[in-house]
Chains A and B, each alone.
Chain A
Amino acid sequence: MSKKVVVIGAGPAGMETSTYLANFGFDVDLIEKENQVGGKLNHWDRLFPSMRKGDEVKEFLRKGNKFSNINLLLNTEIENVEQIDNKFIIATNNNKIQADAVVIATGFEIFDATKKEEYGYGIYDNVITSKDLELLFRQNKKIVRADGKPVKRVGIVHCVGSRDEKAGNIYCSKVCCVTGVKQAIEIHEANPDSEIYCFYMDLRMFGMQYEELYKKAQEEHGVQFIRGRLSEAAESLDGSVIVKVEDTLSGRPLKMSVDLLVLLVGFVPSQGTTKMGNLFGVSFNPNRFLEYSDEHTGTGLTNVPGVFLAGTCSAPRTLTNTILDARSTAMRVAGYLNAWETEKR
């Protein structure tokens, strides 16, 4: 009888981990609290840096699950966990499952932008988040002001809730810089007469072709990159948003009016990640994500034997790195369940 692995969370990490574990010959239950697979990929339109549709990647992941005969349990939430010897008895809202290993792939949430009160999200009509903008792209909606007027000038604020001690998040969310560049291009493509200003601290274009995308934004779309963090936003009489920034390259304060202000919200651990960490006794890192047993050699492993991590429940990651991490974790699970000598290092 094959050994059973429960994978919690059917976002990209959970889907890809499941595919590889099933191909290794394990019996896999993939648990998802929502009524569909795909996680945050369901909210995303096009992906950096290639601008391919996110749905294409979702379809790739879904095919993997389909070919691998995975037992997908939608609308299922874990309520309790017991560990007896090396077995995990997992009680869900629908059933009880006995597992030999568990993979937590419960991912992230976006930072709640209302916490950066000075930016006015949820208060000013024309302040939105990168997630809201992505939804507009997905729905093929026009990028216009809340009153329906065209946008002539757009501000994009980087690092909202990331690298921000005041917000309690000192870490970099990794994807926001290049997302800002991607979205600036997309706004300009949709509104060729618009001017776009990105307000940043650093631009971390670490991935292949990110730098090219950044260059393209400037050369082909005229996107202006201004180094300086927003101090505040306010609403003017006509509903436009007045922003104050210190341009730290010129050393001067800057005040300008934009029709739309987009906040590039970072990652925070999802409620599911926190809940699973507590249920399974997995330790948390100082940034409140789940902790690998060793940052260099223990990726995928936790302090609890038999409990593994995949994807953004342990740290912010790009989609590419999430899929890589998922495959890597599948291998660590296989090593554990097959008692490979390499896993005893």
Chain B
Amino acid sequence: MKVEGKRHIWKEYQKDIADDKYWYARSCIRQNFFPGSETAFLRILRNELGKDIFDSQCHTSCTGIGYHCDIVPFETTMTVVARQFSLMSEKGYKNYAASCITSFGLYTEILETWESHPHLLEKTRDNLYKSTGRTFEIPEDLAHTSDIIFKFRKEIFEKRKHSLINIQTGKPLRGVEHIGCHYAKMFPHKGVGGAEYPQVLAGMIEDWGGEVVDYPERRHCCGFGFRQYVVKANRGYSVANSHKKFESMEPFKPDFILTNCPGCPMFLDRWQYFIAETEGKTYGENGLGIPVLTYEELAGIVLGYDPWELGLQMHQVSIEPLLDKLGYEYDKSGKYKALDGTNLGKPENPTNLKITC
């Protein structure tokens, strides 16, 4: 592998990312899957970096899941997205920060559509006004929230409590990155580093002291694929996709998987449990799984946040072995306590997938 070849491509795919005053659009599903991630993002932006970010309580789904499942027409989707932009406009913000990869891809698709087909923009303005009485401005800047963490990765590292180094060996931790399909595969120039060798997560791992491991099925879908999972009869395809990735990355012995999409960490985490319990196969060391992290969780770990405030107890694959490699100091007994200290109860142990708690 010639790393300089990748860096050459990265130079071709750099984009402007606003450096302050964001309007935040949350994901529909992230708060259920990994509820600490979005909170961590806001904490990092506001408390660590001193940025102005508006967390709207009024926005809706972008309709992305319905759109990609062919149950929401594009015209409807454009009107709903226009309403999100309207909410941003009325608060005086111009920089749209999408927490969800599918939303980011959809907003990008819509903005490109409006640019190349201005009559659809006018029709959308008309539809929104007739249905809600609202008007809107097109964002000056559209970024996925992983773009924003990427942009400030060096500032975050300056405030670090931990580098991505294995304190027992002194070597960089090995991370595999998994980029959401809708991040750059449709519009490569809208993603940091492009579609084939994205830099957005690789840049975080490298600049936080770790080592990126490139494995053959890196580009493959995590298995969410919307209709692969949403249509119940197709769920075999979903686990087959994840299985293909695990088998491919296993020989490289990664310490963790880093993701930037709402669905990917969910499926890469939970399907490890499923495969272990149905096939008896585990992919980490000594019967453990490979920990799967969101980029906000990894940033929070670098910054030394309480792992349970980050929501790492919500992961199926135990996160503690990774924290131990980092020499992390934390209260192991707090794993199943709510923020107010009440005991949430301990889940049953799986049969095959080893967990630590």
Most buried by B among A118, A124, A234, A242: A234
Q: Are B196 and A122 in contact (CB under 8 A)?
A: no
A125 CA / B2 CA spacing, docked (Å): 7
- Residues in B whose Cβ lies below 8 Å from that of A235: 1, 214, 216
Q: Using a CB-CB cutoff of 8 Å, which residues 228-254 of chain A contact chain B?
A: 232, 234-237, 242
If the complex has contacts A235-B214, A236-B216, are A114 and B5 also in contact, measured as CB distance less than 8 A?
Answer: yes
A237 to B, closest residue via Cβ: B251
A240 to B, closest residue via Cβ: B216
| Residue in A123, A125, A236, A237 whose beta carbon sits within 8 Å of that of B197 in the complex | A123
Q: Any chain A CB within 8 A of the CB of B219?
A: yes
Q: Contact string, A142-172, partner B, CB cutoff 8 A, digits 1/0?
A: 0000000000000000000000000000000
- Residues in A whose Cβ lies below 8 Å from that of B275: none
Give the interface SS of chain B, mostly helix, strand, loop or mixed. loop
Q: Are B196 and A118 in contact (CB under 8 A)?
A: yes
- Residues in B whose Cβ lies below 8 Å from that of A59: none
Q: Any chain B CB within 8 A of the CB of A189?
A: no
Q: Using a CB-CB cutoff of 8 Å, which residues 117-145 of chain A contact chain B?
A: 117-118, 120, 122-125
Most buried by A among B216, B217, B252: B216
Q: Are B251 and A124 in contact (CB under 8 A)?
A: no
Q: Are A122 and B216 in contact (CB under 8 A)?
A: no
- Residues in A whose Cβ lies below 8 Å from that of B216: 234-236, 242
Q: Any chain A CB within 8 A of the CB of B232?
A: no
Q: Are A117 and B252 in contact (CB under 8 A)?
A: no
B3 to A, closest residue via Cβ: A123
Q: Any chain A CB within 8 A of the CB of B346?
A: no
Q: Are A125 and B1 in contact (CB under 8 A)?
A: yes
- Residues in A whose Cβ lies below 8 Å from that of B281: none
Most buried by B among A120, A123, A236, A237: A123
Q: Are B2 and A122 in contact (CB under 8 A)?
A: yes
Q: Any chain A CB within 8 A of the CB of B9?
A: yes
Q: Are B218 and A122 in contact (CB under 8 A)?
A: no
Q: Using a CB-CB cutoff of 8 Å, which residues 220-276 of chain A contact chain B?
A: 232, 234-237, 242
- Residues in A whose Cβ lies below 8 Å from that of B1: 123-125, 235
Q: Are A117 and B8 in contact (CB under 8 A)?
A: no
A242 CA / B217 CA spacing, docked (Å): 9
- Residues in A whose Cβ lies below 8 Å from that of B196: 117-118, 232
Q: Any chain A CB within 8 A of the CB of B172?
A: no
If the complex has contacts A123-B197, A125-B1, are A237 and B214 also in contact, measured as CB distance less than 8 A?
Answer: no
Q: Any chain A CB within 8 A of the CB of B289?
A: no
- Residues in A whose Cβ lies below 8 Å from that of B218: 234
A238 to B, closest residue via Cβ: B251
CB distance from A114 to the nearest CB of B (A): 7
| Residue in A118, A123, A232, A236 whose beta carbon sits within 8 Å of that of B2 in the complex | A123
- Residues in B whose Cβ lies below 8 Å from that of A242: 216
A47 CA / B138 CA spacing, docked (Å): 58
- Residues in A whose Cβ lies below 8 Å from that of B223: none
Q: Are A122 and B219 in contact (CB under 8 A)?
A: no
Q: Are A122 and B8 in contact (CB under 8 A)?
A: yes
A243 to B, closest residue via Cβ: B216
CB distance from B242 to the nearest CB of A (A): 17
Q: Contact string, A312-327, partner B, CB cutoff 8 A, digits 1/0?
A: 0000000000000000
- Residues in A whose Cβ lies below 8 Å from that of B6: 123
- Residues in B whose Cβ lies below 8 Å from that of A125: 1-2
What 13 new A-B contacts, CB under 8 Å, besides A117-B196, A234-B215, A235-B214? A114-B5, A117-B9, A117-B194, A122-B2, A123-B2, A123-B197, A124-B2, A232-B219, A234-B216, A234-B219, A235-B216, A237-B251, A242-B216
Closest 5 CB pairs of A and B: A123-B5, A122-B5, A234-B216, A117-B196, A242-B216
For this complex, 15 residue pairs linking A to B, each with C-beta atoms less than 8 Å apart, are A114-B8, A117-B194, A118-B196, A120-B5, A122-B8, A123-B1, A123-B2, A124-B2, A232-B196, A234-B217, A234-B218, A235-B1, A235-B214, A236-B216, A237-B251
